[in-house]
Amino acid sequence: MKRFLIGIAAVSLAAVLLQGVAAAAPTPTYDVTCVVGGETTATWRHVKLDQVTLEWFTAGSTTAYASVTPPVTTHRPRGSVVSSAGTLPGIVPATVRVSFQHTKGAGTDQVEAACTK
């Protein structure tokens, strides 16, 4: 009987500790910057990603004029990508949209940022 009670107490304690760890998971954070005539940088923290896609738009457009899916850094759960693909002669980007695809199909987050001069 004593072993049974110790077992129940251990299982209960483990459940409480695991519940606290799951609730304490940090929220993913994303930073996106776009410089006209320069580079676009996307960084993330507290999330594991499979893919990052960058799309550039001109003012008032709903269709991207350029898109790129660069390799994701391997320093999970943080990382960054840098691209100059949105810099094209005669085209001035107004915004960039970055799609962050989570590992194992766990969803996608999107962040849009204005491009600055």
The full set of domains in the chain, from first to last, is 27-116 (2.60.40.10)
Q: What is the pLDDT of residues 14-50, one digit of tens each?
A: 554 445 445 567 899 999 999 999 999 999 999 999 9
Whole-model pTM: value is 0.77
Gap between the Cα atoms of 14 and 10, Å rounded? 6
Gap between the Cα atoms of 100 and 50, Å rounded? 8
Q: Residue 46's pLDDT is what?
A: 93
Which of the residue ranges 2-11, 67-76, 100-109 would you say has the lowest mean pLDDT?
2-11
Distances (CA, A) of 42 to 20, 74, 86, 89, 111: 31, 14, 13, 22, 9
Gap between the Cα atoms of 114 and 91, Å rounded? 15
